[in-house]
């Protein structure tokens, strides 16, 4: 098994980054566009920026899993719900925690990039920045109880969602 994610996921997610960057370039040149088209372009740019920011969460999980030498499985298709499945049976508590904290770090990186790299006076920036913060909060609310359970010595939870089809 490859140490890294299959190239199809790297290409898929870099394509989302390219789309966001192209929209930022176009919307910057057309920033003075009045009316509905300017609004649509700004909203599309902000939402398109949210996609790579959200994907950083999953890539953070994968980075944490890989740093912890975890066993993971990648889905066959490129449009799976998740980037990978964490093998609960073959990984230990420390590996689960590395994988978990990697996701939080990825979400935080998304917030930092959106707040540090985007111009402050744009609707697109506000959408991306607000969405990144909400994404971080939601990931903490949903995932941290499981992380805390394992930190306190509890069992590693069974996967709530999987990227691969059950056999």
pLDDT in tens, 57-97: 999 999 999 999 999 999 888 888 788 999 999 999 999 99
Mean pLDDT of 31-53: 88
Burial status of residue 37 (CB atoms within 10 A of its CB: 0-12, 13-18, 19 or more): exposed
In this predicted structure, what is the pLDDT of residue 165?
A: 67
159 belongs to a structural domain: no
98 belongs to a structural domain: yes
1 pLDDT tier (thresholds 50, 70, 90): very low
Q: Residue 93 has which token pair?
A: 């508590």
Bridge partners, residue 86, by sequence: 72
- d(C-alpha 36, C-alpha 25), whole Å: 19
165 belongs to a structural domain: no
46 belongs to a structural domain: yes
Mean pLDDT of 149-154: 95
Please state the pTM of the whole predicted model: 0.89
Domain enclosing residue 85, as ranges: 7-151
When divided into structural domains, the chain yields a total of: 1
100 belongs to a structural domain: yes
In the predicted model, is pLDDT for residue 20 greater than 90? Answer: yes
135 belongs to a structural domain: yes
Helix (H, G, I), strand (E, B) or coil at 49: helix
- d(C-alpha 158, C-alpha 76), whole Å: 21
72 belongs to a structural domain: yes
């Amino acid at each position: 098994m490859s140490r890294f994610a299959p190239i199809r996921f790297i290409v898929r997610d870099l394509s989302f980054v390219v789309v966001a960057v192209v929209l930022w370039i176009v919307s910057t040149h057309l920033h003075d566009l009045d009316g509905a088209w300017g609004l649509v372009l700004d909203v599309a740019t902000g939402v398109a920026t949210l996609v790579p920011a959200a994907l950083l969460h999953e890539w953070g999980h994968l980075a944490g899993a890989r740093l912890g030498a975890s066993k993971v499985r990648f889905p066959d298709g490129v449009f799976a719900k998740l980037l990978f499945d964490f093998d609960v049976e073959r990984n230990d508590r420390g590996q689960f925690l590395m994988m978990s904290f990697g996701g939080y770090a990825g979400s935080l990186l998304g917030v930092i990039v959106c707040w540090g790299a985007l111009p402050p006076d744009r609707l697109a920036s506000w959408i991306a920045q607000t969405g990144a913060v909400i994404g971080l909060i939601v990931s903490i609310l949903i995932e941290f109880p499981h992380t805390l359970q394992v930190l306190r010595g509890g069992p590693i939870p069974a996967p709530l969602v999987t990227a691969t089809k059950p056999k």
